Amino acid sequence: MVIVVRPGATKAEVREIVDLIESKGLKTHFSEGTQVTIIGVVGDKTLLVGTPLEALSGVDKIVPIAESYKLASRTFRPEGTVLEFPGCRVGGKELVMMAGPCAVESEAQIMASAKAVKASGAKFLRGGAYKPRTSPYAFQGLETEGLKLMRQAADAYRLLVISEITSENDLAEAARYVDMVQIGARNAQNFRLLREVGRSGLPVLLKRGIAETIEEWLQSSEYVLSEGNYKVILCERGIRTFETATRSTLDIAAVPVLKARTHLPVFVDPSHAAGRAAYVAPLSKASVAAGADGLIVEVHPEPKKALSDAAQQITFEEFDQLCRDIAGMAPICGREFRHGG
């Protein structure tokens, strides 16, 4: 941390800053420049939590230097994190595909989906049981019934289950049916939920908030990690910008940025970023080329009849072709992915 001293600050004001920092057990380095004077702070910055340096009259601004997250930092675990599941490893050489409908709608729909995505190479069946919808008048999901149907379909086709939860109150129920919970973009800074997921020890796919910086996202993940739960996947799903041609703007650079900064596996959700089925395949391939560890893709037996996000779900045939293409790309990207079950 570097403190920039306000131009014109008195010696007493500067002393006040230094004294406050040193009273907390940290050291200071003083550097007087021609235009500005700065104070470098050396030591464990967590000792300064709750110390309102910014409010001192001698302080112009505080420039953070070190990362604001610890357990998520790559320096904490340089070799990277690999999550082990029956039949697949996430974060290693294998590209892992998660696929399924936006929302679970019926037994027939989810069984057909499980069969199809398995046949194309997916390891996880995705599907929404609790749907966070912008409008209260939209379809809100089958809830527990949806989770049961997913478990049944996944078991029938030897798949793992991932599904979103939107409240800490659903965690115990979801834990009975899923292999991994998902926290969606709208709850990316629902810290109560993050903390409870951390305590549950359940693997979690944590989507980026629609206006969350990469730094803040890693801090969100820290809520889970700091409870001792290291089974976290980060999933880029597009950010909000001024461009409206797509539903969100996929921040493809987040993939290499995260690979450099954190040891956690990095996924991409091309479906929510695109908002249109036609763009899902190009964004999926781009994500793999950029270094993603896996994808989570919305696939529906009949997108035209879907109860939510109809425009962005692809058909079984489109998904199968995508998996073929990715199987072709994988070796060139230093990855393994096998098309077909």
Smaller CB separation from a second copy, 81 or 187: 187
CB atoms within 10 A of CB 106: 13
Smaller CB separation from a second copy, 152 or 189: 189
DSSP label at 267?
A: E
Smaller CB separation from a second copy, 11 or 135: 135
**Is residue 216 a contact residue for a second copy (CB under 8 A)?**
yes
> In the window 139-168, what residues touch a second copy (CB under 8 A)?
139, 166-168
Q: Which stretch binds a second copy (CB under 8 A): 28-36, 82-90, 92-100, 118-126?
A: 28-36
The secondary structure element, H or E, covering residue 20 is: helix 11-23
| Three-class SS state of 209 | coil
Smaller CB separation from a second copy, 12 or 46: 46
d(CA 315, CA 43): 55
Judge whether 125 and 159 are in contact, CB under 8 Å: yes
Q: Which of 109, 190, 200, 262 binds a second copy (CB under 8 A)?
A: 190
> In the window 88-117, what residues touch a second copy (CB under 8 A)?
none
d(CA 54, CA 322): 51
Please, what is the minimum distance in Å from the beta carbon of residue 174 to a second copy? 14
Tokens for 285, please give them: 């391939």
Interface mask toward a second copy for 246-285; x: CB under 8 A = x--xxxxxxxxx--x------------xx--xxx--xx-x
**Is residue 341 a contact residue for a second copy (CB under 8 A)?**
no
**Is residue 50 a contact residue for a second copy (CB under 8 A)?**
yes
d(CA 15, CA 39): 11
Instruction: Give 211's strand partners.
Output: none
Please give the backbone phi and psi of residue 56, each rounded to the nearest 5 degrees, phi first. -70, 140
> In the window 71-90, what residues touch a second copy (CB under 8 A)?
75
Task: Kindly give the pairing relationship between strand 124-126 and strand 96-100.
Answer: parallel
> In the window 283-322, what residues touch a second copy (CB under 8 A)?
283, 285-291, 303-308, 310-311, 313
Smaller CB separation from a second copy, 59 or 88: 59
d(CA 101, CA 262): 30
Q: Which stretch binds a second copy (CB under 8 A): 83-91, 108-116, 153-161, 204-212?
A: 204-212
d(CA 232, CA 220): 11
Smaller CB separation from a second copy, 107 or 213: 213
Q: Which stretch binds a second copy (CB under 8 A): 109-117, 142-150, 172-180, 183-191?
A: 183-191
Judge whether 227 and 202 are in contact, CB under 8 Å: no
